[in-house]
Structure 1
Amino acid sequence: MLGTAAIEVDTIRVEVPQVTVRRMPQPGEAYDIVEIETDRGTTVCQYYESAGARSGVVMVGGTGGGFDTPARRLYPRLAQDLRNDRISTLRVQYRQPTDLVESTVDMVLGMRYLESRDVSAVGLIGHSLGGAVAVQAAANDPAVRVVVTLATQAAGTEPIAGLPRRTAILLVHGDADTVTSPRSSEEAYRRAHEPRRLVVYEGAGHTLDEAAESLYVEVKAWLLKHLPGTLV
């Protein structure tokens, strides 16, 4: 059971009463299903646990819903591989995948779950709408040490300017993205503080499939560099 959460998204304050958590092993899979139940509904997650991990990563997709992932299965690849670096990972499925406020609630609940598993430093990754969700969620929790946005939308990324100084920010976009403009990431980069990095892949579209291998290396390296105790 997790405690009460108070979440603020674009000046909207959301009170989430005490929640109930169910964890269900999935035979033959690398993850367990975690259901986080509140009065707003049930947030379903895939939990890839690394025994004894003190760092964790929460991943969210865009408006497609489900366990959405960009870049040719980037999220499940990272989730499985990061366990070898003592990083636990939670993939979050939105309850309402077009709603920034409710999607941020989902991500924050996922962060709270990792913290209940003794994770003290958190990285957030979000694609498209999920980029804004990650920024909003980071503004709600001082445990966040890394934010990675992938082809982010512009709306909702304004709080990036006020994130704690120790938060390392990586922004990635494709210059052939016809869904969200690369200018969204460029503007967020201008507002962000150091450490920050902007990567624009030539010829890559919204899902970043064309840059999948380079993106995997880039994101993993950023996480290992900036999550404490993970880079050897």
Structure 2
Amino acid sequence: MIPLPPQETNRHNRHCPRMLGTAAIEVDATKVEVPQATARLVPQPGEAYDLVEIETDRGTTACHYYEAKGARNGVVMVGGTGGGFDSPAGGLYPRLAQDLPNHRISALRVRYRHPNDLVESTVDTILGMRYLESLGVPAVGLVGHSLGGAVVIQAAANDPKVRAVVVISTQAAGTGPVARLPEGAAILMIHGDADTVTSPRSSEEAYRRAREPRRLIIYEGAGHSLDEAAGSLFVEVKAWLLKHLPGTLV
């Protein structure tokens, strides 16, 4: 991905529109042009996040942005085909997003424009990553559930700034690039053995193709959303991000 120059992120200009240049990526062996984008931050009084709208000629990608002052890293979280700002494990994403800024990690939750489309969902995720990078964030972590598991693998394979990846209840289709993540990028794969939507074999096969550092967790009795393991899942995901994003403390 084309590197973006760091920009000042003080309170004076944080609301100014940001221009994100074009970039060429590859999604599932298909070349895709990520178009020029304009990102606008819209404060949400009373909420823990601000709304970020990233406009391109493909449409508008909406994000919830949880800012960490002096952020050293950023984490992008994406869901599955349900669309919206969905989250697995009883609200894992909003819980993480509100906690990570305490560790100087900004968080961005991305809402897909077309939640059944791997290519377009990956473009949405890349746009979210580029927004964080435009703020001067030096390294990025990615977390994806279901379809989002394949999405974050595709996105990670296109950006050398990705240092940590978490894949939850992933589908099998679209996980091929797991074998060519950036050098040193650490991947955690999580599945429930009672998942009737996506087979745990999807995570097991992706794990076998992944390079180190890698880890696989299979929760006994947990279904697709892993609600049964919500407490443990939060601990494991947070620990993985803190361990593998540079400059953070475990």
- Which structure 2 residues correspond to residues 64-83 of structure 1 after superposition, within 5 A? 64-83=82-101
Q: Which residue number corresponds to residue 185 of structure 1?
A: 203
CA shift for structure 1 position 14: 1.5
Q: Which residue number corresponds to residue 176 of structure 1?
A: 194
Q: Which residue number corresponds to residue 199 of structure 1?
A: 217
Matched, 1:161 2:186: no
TM-score norm. by structure 2 comes to 0.92
CA shift for structure 1 position 197: 0.4
2: CA distance between counterparts of 1:193 and 1:128? Answer: 21
Q: Which residue number corresponds to residue 25 of structure 1?
A: 43
- Across the aligned residues of Structure 1 and Structure 2, the Cα RMSD in angstroms comes to 0.7
2:157–2:177 Cα contact (<8 Å) kept: yes
Q: Which residue number corresponds to residue 132 of structure 2?
A: 114
2: CA distance between counterparts of 1:65 and 1:164? Answer: 28
Q: Percent identity?
A: 79
Aligned partner letter, 1:83 = P
2: CA distance between counterparts of 1:165 and 1:14? Answer: 23
Deviation by residue 1:60-116 (Cα, 9 ceiling, x = unmatched): 000000001000000000000000000000000000000000000000000000000
Describe the SS at the equivalent of 1:47: strand
Matched, 1:103 2:121: yes
Deviation by residue 1:155-178 (Cα, 9 ceiling, x = unmatched): 100100111231000000000000
CA shift for structure 1 position 16: 2.5
How many residue pairs match? The answer is 232
Q: 1:5 aligns with which of 23, 34, 48?
A: 23
1:71–1:212 Cα contact (<8 Å) kept: yes
Q: Which residue number corresponds to residue 209 of structure 1?
A: 227
1:186–1:198 Cα contact (<8 Å) kept: yes
Gaps of 5+ in 2: 1-18
Q: Which contiguous aligned blocks of 4+ residues in structure 1 show a shift greater than 2 angstroms?
A: none
